[in-house]
């Protein structure tokens, strides 16, 4: 099959222009979009706080050991649960994320703390929506913000359902950002 380089170039340019306008809209004073984004984050934080307050009031008077039994799902637990929910095998997930088998075996450990880029690569491999991606990142101690071009590009790709790691990396590279899943 012959590939029409002109057609590929035109498609890549359209994607590039679409992302550029998305970044410009985010970085300018688009109050509506910013408010929606902030509202989503506040909602996630409010739900988290409500849960923590419920747990705090529920276990008031218990000793610290009893309170520690109410720890949220870890990054590893959520990752493994999402793999199962998506009907994927472990190897399908880590290969699609561009992660080595050795690194994935670390991810199965309860106290695993990935790099932000690794967590994002897993989210893309699992084709998580933006809210699920934010939740997975939160479990690893991260969040996508609008103060980073890298984060805005990742958010754009997820909202546009661009989950192909090579396409995401080409996009990141075209905006001079670091790439994901380089078989770390």
Q: What is the pLDDT of residue 54?
A: 61
- Long-range contact list for 77-80, CB < 8 A, 24+ apart? 77/110, 78/135, 78/136, 78/139, 79/107, 79/122, 79/136, 80/108
- Quick check: is 180 in a domain? no
For 24, the token pair is: 């410009």
Q: What is the pLDDT of residues 100-146, one digit of tens each?
A: 999 999 999 988 999 999 999 999 999 999 999 999 999 999 999 99
Distance CA 76, CA 72 (A): 11
- Which residues does 95 contact at the CB level (< 8 Å), separation at least 6? none
Q: What is the pLDDT of residue 85?
A: 97
For 148, the token pair is: 């980073």
Q: What is the pLDDT of residue 57?
A: 56
Distance CA 55, CA 47 (A): 12
Per-residue pLDDT at 29 exceeds 60: no
> What is the share, in percent, of the chain residues with pLDDT greater than 90?
57
- Quick check: is 181 in a domain? no
- Quick check: is 179 in a domain? no
Distance CA 71, CA 55 (A): 10
Q: What is the pLDDT of residues 73-86, one digit of tens each?
A: 999 999 999 999 99
Q: What is the pLDDT of residue 1?
A: 44
Q: What is the pLDDT of residues 139-184, one digit of tens each?
A: 999 999 999 999 999 999 999 999 999 999 999 999 999 999 765 5
Of the two residues 51 and 107, the one the predictor is more confident about is: 107
Cα dihedral 79, 83, 85, 86 in deg (nearest 10): 130
Number of domains in the chain: 1
- Quick check: is 113 in a domain? yes
- Quick check: is 24 in a domain? yes
Average confidence (pLDDT) over 40-54:
71
- Quick check: is 184 in a domain? no
- Quick check: is 100 in a domain? yes
**Taking Cα atoms as reference points, which of 121, 183, 182, 175 lies closest to residue 148?**
175
Q: What is the pLDDT of residue 106?
A: 93
> Containing domain of residue 131, as a range?
5-174
- Quick check: is 182 in a domain? no
Per-residue pLDDT at 16 exceeds 90: no
- 157 touches 150 (CB < 8 A): no
Distance CA 166, CA 93 (A): 15
């Amino acid at each position: 099959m012959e590939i029409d380089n002109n057609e590929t170039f035109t498609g890549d340019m359209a994607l590039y222009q679409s992302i550029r306008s998305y970044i410009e809209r985010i970085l300018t004073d688009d109050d509506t979009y910013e408010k929606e984004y902030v509202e989503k984050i506040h909602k996630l934080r409010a739900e988290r706080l409500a849960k923590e307050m419920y747990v705090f009031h529920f276990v008031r008077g218990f000793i610290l050991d009893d309170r520690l039994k109410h720890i949220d799902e870890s990054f590893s637990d959520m990752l493994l649960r999402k793999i199962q929910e998506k009907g994927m095998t472990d190897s399908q997930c880590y290969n699609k994320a561009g992660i080595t088998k050795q690194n994935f075996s670390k991810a199965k450990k309860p106290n695993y703390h990935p790099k932000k880029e690794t967590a994002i690569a897993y989210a893309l491999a699992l084709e998580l929506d933006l809210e699920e991606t934010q939740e997975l990142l939160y479990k690893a101690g991260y969040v996508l913000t609008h103060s980073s071009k890298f984060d805005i590009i990742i958010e754009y790709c997820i909202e546009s359902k661009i989950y192909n790691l090579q396409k995401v990396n080409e996009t990141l590279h075209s905006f001079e950002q670091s790439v994901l899943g380089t078989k770390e």
